[in-house]
Amino acid sequence: MPDNTELLGVWKIGDLSFNVVSRTILAGRPFSVGLTAAVEFVRQTDGALLAKKIEAFHRPDPNPPSAKVRGLVESRPVSPTITGTWVIASTTLS
């Protein structure tokens, strides 16, 4: 996370980098490294990811039993099976 009071700049969440600007909605403050976060973003014409909204989830368990991943399916098991290893948004799932 950027080291400024406005939290503007590049945030690294998972394997992705997001640009946070003054119009980005930041919900669930305070933010800190290690929190679980949900990001709504748009891909800009130059390929950069512009965060529209980042929401932090304050959970006592740093390894929640379930989560959601939304993004590009990068690889999956060979059809017709769906059982096996998937990679979605740079996240490996079984």
**Percent over 70 (pLDDT), the chain:** 90
Q: Is the preceding omega at residue 30 within 30 degrees of 0, hence cis?
A: yes
- Which pLDDT band, with edges at 50, 70 and 90, does 12 fall under? very high
pTM, two decimal places? 0.63
Is the pLDDT higher at 53 or at 60?
53
CA atoms within a 13 Å half-sphere pointing along the CA-CB vector of 4: 10
- Which pLDDT band, with edges at 50, 70 and 90, does 33 fall under? confident
Count other Cβ atoms within 10 Å, centred on residue 19: 15
Above 80 in pLDDT, residue 11? yes
Cβ contacts of 17 within 8 Å, gap of 6 or more: 10, 11, 49
Do the beta carbons of residue 6 and residue 21 sit within 8 Å? Answer: no
Above 70 in pLDDT, residue 19? yes
